[in-house]
Chains A and B, each alone.
Chain A
Amino acid sequence: MLTIADHQFSSRLFTGTGKFSTSALMLEAIACSGSELVTMAMKRLDLKTGSDDILQPLLSSGVKLLPNTSGARNAKEAVFAAELAREILDTPWIKLEIHPDPKYLMPDPIETLEAAKILCDKGFVVLPYVHADPVLCRRLEEVGCAAVMPLGSPIGSNQGLATETFLKMIIEQAKVPVIVDAGIGAPSQATRVMELGADAVLVNTAIASSRDPAAMGRCFAAAVQTGRDAYLAGLGHVRSVASETSPLTGFLNE
């Protein structure tokens, strides 16, 4: 079981709601993936009625909703989006996303830390989306974030684990769950992240943009489980050749 804040999850695969061609397809894919936490953009909500064709079916499907602040370009906008989410959806959970850069959608570390501080102080359960920056992750943990969500590669790119070296450092150091978010394009990549010891992965584009999202949702579920099992079993080591002579410690025998 994975615990984040006070909530337990039996699946370590989290999903998103963007990019599906129909909401029926989205619901089917989410159901097949077994995901219990689904993120959705506050900017997509119809604020006047508080409901739209994504929200209602999601709410009735029983998954936990993780509103995100995607679209926010600075801390102020993100805090505003989080407060709206808490009010409308009645949840203190928020995926903090601030990307002012429209080309690569790179998260802004300075605004994110600033917003995280404010939101944690206000009692939110904050899950920040960040670059795979080990120092930033530690600082976010210090201000009280419930988890960190470093990226594998640029959002929506399906490029996989461009940041593996840094993800390893983050996983080794973190005292809160590490959820690898963004860039995971294939089930094999999800397995690899889980083998490294990540606590969960968030996959959206790879499922939504596949030819058969429901089938792909199932593949990711199996891949994440396999990676987790392999991590728990402990990967075997690659043997190196033993050295015969003792040039450095020969003095011990003199």
Chain B
Amino acid sequence: MSFLSYLQGISREKLKLALYSATSDDVERALNSAEGDLNSLLALLSPAAEPYIEQMAQQSVRLTRQRFGANIGMFLPLYLSNLCANECDYCGFSMSNKLKRKTLNGPELEAEMAVIKKLGYDSILLVSGEHETKVGIDYFKQVLPQVKNEFSYLAMEVQPLAEHEYAELVGLGLDAVMIYQETYNPQTYAEHHTRGKKKDFAYRLDTPERVAKAGVDKVGLGVLLGLDDWRLDALLLGHHLAYLESKYWRTRYSVSLPRLRPCTGGITPKVEMTDKGLVQLICAFRLFNQQLDISLSTRESPELRDNLFSLGITNLSAGSSTQPGGYVNPDTQLDQFEISDDRTPVQVSHAMKQRGLNPVWKDWESAWIGG
């Protein structure tokens, strides 16, 4: 059974009702059970869990330190291109947006990598808009060996690919694929994705499974908080995760919990996600899944990020630029979205150390793996 048919077998109404009618007893049961499961995730994401956020945070910290120690993995996004053949109304890269378009060529990529390496990073996330013809598999095949030469850990956040394409990229050094569903509500999905291949909800939904089948080390899932009811979207994200974990148990998983941010020509969030909600979300996922990687982006403010660091986060970017060529030329106005924490990696790692956390710049050596 694919995840699509799994999802179709779930009644959204029933699940929503269960979520909003969870009681404090359900929350306490979840807090007291040693292992997280989908029932406990439901309780911890529910409004009934709000008075328990401090307790959730205490447990989240304990479980995170127990599993990951005080380490936080540092990574940086490298934007390869802002070309995109889709229309997503929350994103600055949308096709119809008047924006200078750019795709890095070999020397430009080299120059970007040189700047990033000087910042201390050894873990990179390659990002592009979704443009199959100009920034497709041939381009990736060309770029990956060049990047892998410089960085130990290589993740990608690009358009969905076919299973054999992912497998080919694994051979070239691909370690992780981030593929965010944005929302698990097909109707809301259709409203926000109005043109291009990304309109295909089902194809996107089954992408993480193709990634796992292709033998990629880590799969990243995510929802864009603000598009729909975040509690329900997060719960369905949990279902997706549980489905994948039970089927592809050799794979590692991460989640990313970005809040919708203002961008060129973008929309304002339909559903408000408060700071408190974000804390609840992070802690609920930690209690649900103790081995999960949870990433925090630079979309959040420095003050909030400092407070969130220790609550269950395992991966972090700092000093990010969201435009192709942005590390060499910072002011080209090609951004995907605005970032809120514009501190340098050194400043952020200083703040982390003050909280007793240890930024980890290198955490992977592919030479050990698969030979």
What is the interface of chain A, defined by CB distance below 8 A to chain B?
A: 138, 168, 172-173, 175, 237-240, 242-243, 245-249, 251-252
**Pick the contact of B246 from A168, A175, A248, A249 — CB < 8 Å?**
A175
Bound-complex Cα distance A246 to B55 (A): 8
Cα–Cα, bound, A248→B276 (Å): 12
21 contacts between A and B (CB under 8 A): A168-B35, A172-B35, A173-B249, A175-B246, A237-B28, A237-B32, A237-B33, A239-B28, A239-B32, A240-B32, A243-B54, A243-B55, A246-B54, A247-B54, A248-B54, A248-B58, A248-B61, A249-B54, A249-B57, A251-B304, A252-B275
Contact B249–A249 (Cβ < 8 Å): no
Contact A237 B54 (CB under 8 A): no
Residues of the A chain whose Cβ atoms lie less than 8 Å from the Cβ of B275: 252
- CB neighbours (8 Å) of A247 from chain B are 54
Decide if B32 touches A248 in the complex (CB within 8 Å): no
Q: Does B155 contact A (CB under 8 A)?
A: no
Which residues on the A side are within 8 Å of B292 (C-beta)?
Answer: none
Q: Which of B31, B276, B304, B310 contacts A240 (CB 8 A)?
A: B31
Select which of A173, A237, A248 is within 8 A of B57 by beta carbon.
Answer: A248
Cβ of B333 under 8 Å from chain A: no
Q: Mark B47-65, 1 if CB is under 8 A from A, else 0.
A: 0000001110110010000
B274 nearest CB neighbor, chain A only: A252
Known contacts being A138-B249, A173-B246, is A251 close to B307, with CB within 8 Å? Answer: yes
Taking a contact as CB atoms closer than 8 A, the residue among B32, B35, B246 that contacts A238 in the complex is: B32
The residue of chain A having its C-beta at the shortest distance from the C-beta of B245 within the complex is: A173
Q: How far is the CA of A249 from the CA of B61 in the complex (A)?
A: 11
Cβ contacts under 8 Å, A172 to chain B = 35
Q: Nearest Cβ distance between residue B93 and chain A, in whole angstroms? A: 33
CA of A242 to CA of B31 in the docked complex: distance in angstroms?
10
Question: Which residues from B are CB-within-8-Å of A252?
Answer: 53, 275-276, 279
Nearest-Cβ distance from residue A180 to partner chain B, whole angstroms = 18
Distance between Cα atoms of A72 and B310 in the complex (Å): 53
* Contact, CB under 8 Å: A242 / B55: yes
**Complex Cα–Cα for A195 and B45 (A):** 27
Using a Cβ–Cβ cut-off of 8 Å, how many residues does chain B contribute to the interface with A? 22
Which B positions have Cβ atoms within 8 angstroms of A?
28-29, 31-33, 35, 53-55, 57-58, 61, 246, 249, 275-276, 279, 303-304, 307, 310-311
Give Cα A239 to B55, complex, Å: 13
Q: Which residues of A contact B31 (CB under 8 A)?
A: 240
Give, as a whole number of angstroms, the nearest-CB distance from A158 to chain B.
27
Taking the closest CB of chain A, its distance from the CB of B251, in whole angstroms, is 13
Which residue of A is nearest B56, CB measured?
A249
Contacting pair B53 A237 (CB below 8 A): no
User: In the complex, what's the smallest C-beta–C-beta distance from A136 to chain B, in angstroms?
Assistant: 12
Considering the chains assembled together, what is the distance between the CA atoms of A249 and B58 in angstroms? Answer: 9
CB distance from A152 to the nearest CB of B (A): 19
Q: Which of A168, A173, A249 contacts B53 (CB 8 A)?
A: A249
For B276, list chain A residues within 8 Å (CB): 249, 252
A contact residues around B246 at 8 Å (CB):
173, 175
Closest to B25 in A: A237
Give the complex CA separation of A118 and B207 in angstroms.
33
Chain A: minimal CB distance from B55 (Å) = 6
- A168–B34 alpha-carbon span in the complex (Å): 11
Ranked nearest first, the 5 interchain pairs of A and B with the lowest CB-CB distance are: A237-B32, A248-B57, A246-B54, A251-B307, A249-B54
| B33 cross-chain contacts in A, Cβ below 8 A | 237
Within the complex, what minimum Cβ distance (angstroms) separates B290 from chain A? 12
Nearest to B310 among chain A residues (CB) is A248
A246-B54, A248-B54 given; name 17 further pairs at CB < 8 Å: A168-B35, A172-B35, A237-B28, A237-B29, A240-B31, A240-B32, A242-B55, A243-B58, A248-B57, A248-B310, A248-B311, A249-B54, A249-B276, A249-B279, A252-B53, A252-B275, A252-B276
List residues of chain B with CB within 8 A of the CB of A243: 54-55, 58
